[in-house]
Amino acid sequence: MSARNRLLVTATGRNAADCIEALTGTLARLGAELLDLEQVSIRDRFVLELLVEADSTEPVLGELQAAARALGVELDAAPLPASGVGPRRRFVVTAVARALSAAHLHALTELLLRESCSIDRVVRLSEGPLAAAELHVSLPAGVDASALKRALLVLSSAHAFDLALQSESLFRRSKRLVVMDMDSTLIRIEVIDELARAHGVVDQVSKITERAMHGEMDYDESLRLRVGLLAGLPASVLDELAANLPLTEGAETLVRTVKALGYKVAVLSGGFSVAAGALKARLGLDHAWSNVLEIDDGRLTGNVVGPIVNAARKAELLEAIAKEEGIRLDQVIAVGDGANDLPMLQKAGLGIAFRAKPRVREGADVSISTSGLDAILYLLGLSARELAELEAP
C-alpha cells in the first residue's frame, strides 16, 4: 500500500449529487481507493474534495477530468505524499461576535498559522449575518496548547470578540450539566449591593468588598461583615428585589435550550437564597444553593444561617450534584465571573469565565466577554439552524 500514490482532487460546480455520483463511479470502475471526502456548499455552488489512492494516478486523473467536463464541473488535482505529517492533536476554536468580520478572521487565522496550527475545517454556526464560526485545527505533538490558549485570549481582548479553544473530544458535544454563579453571571446585578443601597450602607459595603478583593480578608469574613451592615433591613425589600431580578442577556435562551436537550441546570451562589430560589422557580432550574439570611420579625438580623457558600463550597457542590445526577465531571459546564468561582470552573469539564476579571479569564478553560450567555451554545458546537429546529413547534 505504501508504494501506491495519493491524489487530492478538488471539484467545484453547481450540482453536488451528480458530481459525487459520477466521480465515485469512475473511481470504482478503475479500482482506485477513496480514502477521504468532504463537501461544502455556499449558496448554489459546492466544493468537493476527494483523497484518492491508486497504483498510478495519471489514468485516474484523466478519467476524472473527463467525467467532470461532461458535467460542466471544474476539477483540480495535486499529488500528496503517502507518509502524512506525523501525529497531531485536534482542537476546535470557536469565534463569536456581534458581527464576525473579515478583520476578525484574518487576525485569528494569522495567529493560528503563527502558532503552527493547521486549519482542517471551518464551519459556520450562525444564520443570517456571520456571527459565529468554529475552526477545526490540529497541532503538532510538540506544540504547547496552553500557549495557544493565552495567545487567543490576548487576541480576543485586542479585537473585542470571543474566542474559545477546546480539545476536540467525545465530551465536547455531550455535556449534561450546567452550573452557574448568580450575581453578575446569571443576573446583571450584585444583590448585596442593591440591598446595601436600599439600606443606605452601600459605601461601607463597597469598602469591605474592595478590601477582600485586595486579599486583606477572606470571603467568609467579608460576607459576614457586609451582611452585618444589613441588619434591620425589611425582608420585604429582599423579596421585592428577588421577584424582579434582571437576567443577563441570553440567560433564558441558554437555560431553555439545554433543558430541552435534557441537561440539568444549577445555580451555585455566594449570594442569597431568596434570590436563588426565585430564579430556580422562574427558570425551572434543577438545583439552587446559596447563603441563607436570618430574618426575625420581618427584618434581616445581619446574620448568615448555616455554612457559607464560598469558593471551596461551590466546587464541592458541583461535584456532589454531578454525582447525584450520575454525570461525569467531563460533562459539566461551570460558568462564573469571580475569583471565588475559579475552583468550580477548574473542576468542571468546561470552565467558562463570563465577563470576568483577567485573573479568572486566565484560569478558566475559555472566556466570554462580548457576547451573552447563549454564546455557550456555540461552544457546544450547536448551530443556529439546529437551535431554530429545537424552538420550532
Question: Active-site positions?
Answer: 181, 183
Q: Which residue is listed with cell 473585542?
A: 160
| 218 Ramachandran zone, left/alpha/beta (phi>0; psi -120 to 50) | beta
CA distance linking residue 368 with residue 70, whole number of Å: 50
Identify whether the C-beta of residue 338 lies closer than 8 Å to the C-beta of residue 360. yes
Strands 177-180 and 332-336: parallel
The secondary structure of residue 265, as a DSSP letter, is: E
The secondary structure of residue 27, as a DSSP letter, is: H
Residues shown for the chain: 393
Q: Which residue is listed with cell 468546561?
A: 350
Q: Which residue is listed with cell 495519493?
A: 6
Q: Following CA atoms 257, 262, 263, 264 in sequence, which dihedral angle do they give, to the nearest 10 degrees? A: 110
